[in-house]
Amino acid sequence: MPERGAPEIPVSLVSLRVNGTWLSLRLDNRTTLLDALREHLDLVGAKKGCDHGQCGACTVLVGGRRANSCLLLAVACDGSDVTTVEGLAEGERLHPVQEAFVAHDALQCGYCTPGQICSAVGMLAEAAEGHPSYATAPDRLAADSSPGQGAPEPFDALEIRERMSGNLCRCGAYPNIVDAIAEAARS
Amino acid sequence: MRPFSYLRAATAEEALDAFAARPGAQFLGGGTNLVDLMKLGVTAPEFLIDVSRLPLDSVETTPEGGLHIGATVRNSDLAAHPVVRTRYTALSQALLSGASGQLRNTATTGGNLLQRTRCPYFQDTSKPCNKREPGTGCPARDGVHRDLAVLGHSAHCVATHPSDMAVALAALDATVQVRGAGGERTVPVTDLHRLPGDRPDVDTVLRPGELITGVTLPPRADGGHSGYRKARDRASYAFALASVAATVRVEGGLVRDASLAFGGLAHRPWRARAAEEVLRGAPATVETYARAADAELAAAEPLRDNAFKVTLTRNLTVNVLSDLASRAEEGARPPT
């Protein structure tokens, strides 16, 4: 019960397509996408690590692009297509990035893993579209590159580390994370 | 976080009208900084006007041969744009050096310019801060200020502007298009951000309710190269301790033209015009580059713990200019 005389808390009706299913939620405008997923939809794969966009544990795909769900207001995502780690597998068949993380033992405690995997899926799509990174050599960066030309070459550990720097792993599983992503990039 | 009303504006007119009706409003871009500041209690708008989906998301060549960038173009898309990569390389590098892949996908061009300082006192509401609460004082001056300003600061504020993108835009002579109740105007990006003086609470020259609609880059002279280099505490995903954006054109061993801007040193991107004076017409040598950096950095007033930034910036400047000049010479050499 709101206190008598207390101002009404503004809410909005928010439509999201989450892991392929359209949903409608009535949310306090202050609700982040992360809280909408975890507290309202029981999708607890994305983690609330720092809640300030510094650790990447909350990473999901919005419109196919990786984003920190802790810094997105759910109301501002109205009409968006959201994929969480729960939506990557096709039935019992894991996503190739998930397979690679298992094969390379790319985790220890696992807390950052959903964010790492969603980030890697988004990152590989960016690379396939020809997006450069800060690790891309200046002459390659400045070379005329039209979209859709495939991953920059060489797509080595330096590129992977730079492109994945928004995802921290406190256990320090980075070497195996890089190996897993390198394998997924090849496949 | 304080409760707030929300409106998604479909047009710039709708956004401006909404602000006029409720002047306590704030514009919301990608939200990567604003939402965080709302969580921290640094800002508490009662009304958010979402401008992130305004139809300002295109990058187009101008009739003069420059480039117009809409205010809602995402940082990642701008960095990957073929014309930005090839003709305005410093801008692409600056964007790619900033934040993380996730944040660059969300952050907008307009929002990047208007992000607030990451000074730890500004972000901590339990501490005094003249920028957040005018008149409360600046504990950073005698406190933790290793990452803060060495140029253009005041007794009231030693904050730095955190954007990488804005530093490249400053070196590239970009202009910012702004719309408000009084109509449209254009502001050189080097004039957009203020020095703190005795009003550190005012970051920019924008009037209340004015909206950034785009950024325009002038045409680039043929044979010029541009680049951005950033020094930070870890290899990636950290704000600049110091950064340098530069453009250079070398002919016959002489610097024909050059522009230079520093990041991480001041309350605004620092266009280094004294250094440019030294560079123009001088031999394209390491000695010239060092002399140019020194000419600019003579104005530095380091705080107790950040004098290292002066040396760091000098070395970055020499490094960036040497690299660009050698690429310019290679490009000028006839193919063998």
- Angle between the N-to-C axes of helices B286-297 and B308-332, in degrees from 0 to 180, rounded to the nearest 10: 140
User: Which chain A residue has the Cα nearest residue B46?
Assistant: A10
Nearest to A72 by CA among A84, A83, A59: A59
In chain A, % of residues over pLDDT 70: 91
Nearest partner of B270 among B238, B301, B244, B302, judged by Cα: B244
Q: Of A119, A132, A139, which has the smallest distance from its Cβ to B79's Cβ?
A: A132
Q: What is the mean pLDDT of residues A13-22?
A: 98
Two tokens, residue B28? 């919301």
Dihedral sign of CA atoms A114, A116, A117, A119 in order: positive
Question: What are the C-alpha distances in Å from B49 to residues A36, A76, B16, B114?
Answer: 21, 10, 9, 15
More confident residue, B110 or A5: B110
Q: Do A126 and B8 touch (CB under 8 A)?
A: no
- Position A176 scores a pLDDT of 98
Identify which of B6, B106, B237 has the shortest CB distance to residue A10. B6
Please list, in sequence order, all residues whose beta carbon lies within 8 angstroms of the beta carbon of residue B297, skipping any fewer than 6 positions away.
B151, B310, B313, B314
Residue B320 main-chain phi, psi, to 5 deg: -65, -45
Are A71 and B31 contacting, i.e. CB atoms less than 8 angstroms apart? Answer: yes
Closest Cα of chain B to A52: distance in Å? 6
Q: Token pair for residue B33?
A: 């900084």
Cβ–Cβ gap A76/B237 under 8 Å: no
- What is the predicted pLDDT for the residue at A136? 92
Q: Quick one: how far is CA B111 from the chain centroid?
A: 11
Would you state the torsion angle of the CA atoms of residues A168, A152, B86, B238, taken in this order, to the nearest 10 degrees? 10
Helices (H) and strands (E) in chain A, counts: 6, 5
Distance CA(B296)–CA(B150), nearest Å, equals 12
Sign of the Cα pseudo-torsion (B276, B277, B278, B284, in order): positive
Domains, chain A, in order of start with CATH, read: 11-86 (3.10.20.30), 96-186 (1.10.150.120)
Tokens of B326: 């050698």
Q: DSSP label at A173?
A: -
In 3D, which of B241, B222, B248, B213 has the Cα closest to residue B73? B213
Chain A residues with CB under 8 Å of B1 CB are 30
Q: How many angstroms separate the CA atoms of B74 and B112, rounded?
A: 9
Instruction: State residue A154's pLDDT score.
Output: 74
Residue A67 confidence (pLDDT) above 90: yes
Amino acid at B283: P
Q: Which residue has the higher pLDDT, B80 or A2?
A: B80
Which of B4, B39, B96 minimises the CB distance to A133? B96
CA distance A61 to chain B (A): 9
Who contacts A64 (Cβ-Cβ below 8 Å, separation ≥6)?
A81, A83, A122, A125
The letter for the amino acid at B9 is A
What pLDDT does residue A152 have?
Answer: 67
- The secondary structure of residue A73, as a DSSP letter, is B
Contact B32 A131 (CB under 8 A): no
More confident call, A144 vs B298 = B298
Interface probe for B, chosen from A71, A133, A164 (most Cβ of B below 10 Å), is A71
Going along chain B from its start, the domains and CATH numbers come out as 5-50 (3.30.43.10), 225-332 (3.30.390.50)
Alpha-helix runs per DSSP H in chain B: 12-21, 34-40, 75-80, 82-87, 89-97, 101-106, 109-114, 165-171, 189-192, 273-279, 286-297, 308-332
Q: Which two tokens stand for residue A108?
A: 């220890």
**So what's the pLDDT on residue B336?**
45
Low pLDDT (below 50) residues in chain B: 335-336
pLDDT reported for residue A4:
63
| Residues of chain A neighbouring B76 (CB-CB closer than 8 A) | 65, 126, 131
Helices and strands (H, E) in chain B, number of each type: 12, 12
Residues listed for chain A: 187
Task: Compute the distance between CA of residue A84 and CA of residue B224 in angstroms, rounded to an integer.
Answer: 45
| B36/A53 touch (CB, cutoff 8 Å), yes or no | yes
The 3-state DSSP class for residue A95 equals coil
3-state secondary structure of B189: helix
Cβ neighbours for A165, distance < 8 A, ≥ 6 positions apart: B100, B101, B235, B236, B237
B82 CB neighbours in chain A (<8 A) are 144-147
Determine contact: A15 vs chain B, CB below 8 A.
no
Amino acid B242: pLDDT: 98
Q: Which residues contact A21 (CB under 8 A, 6 or more apart)?
A: none
Other C-beta atoms closer than 10 Å to the C-beta of A170 total 12
Q: Which pLDDT score, from 0 to 100, does residue A8 have? A: 87
Measured between CB atoms, does A100 come within 8 Å of chain B? no
Pairwise CB contact (< 8 Å): B36 & A134: no
User: What per-residue confidence (pLDDT) applies to A155?
Assistant: 84
Which residues of chain A neighbour B101 with C-beta distances below 8 Å?
66, 119, 122-123, 126, 163-166
How many Å lie between the alpha carbon of B118 and the closest alpha carbon of chain A? 13
Q: Is the pLDDT of residue A146 over 80?
A: no
Option in B1, B32, B80 nearest A132 (CB) = B80
Is the CB of residue A133 less than 8 Å away from at least one CB of chain B?
A: yes
CB atoms within 10 A of CB B137: 14
Q: What DSSP assignment string belongs to B298-332?
A: TT----TT-THHHHHHHHHHHHHHHHHHHHHHHHH
Query: Rounded mean pLDDT of chain A?
Result: 93
Question: Using CA of residue A110, residue A67, residue A61, residue A48, what is the dihedral sign?
Answer: positive
Confidence at residue B90, expressed as pLDDT on a 0 to 100 scale = 97
Q: Inform me whether the pLDDT recorded for A153 exceeds 80.
A: no
The amino acid at residue A118 is C
Chain A nearest-CA residue for B34 = A71
Residue that has been written with the tokens 């998930």 in this structure? A98
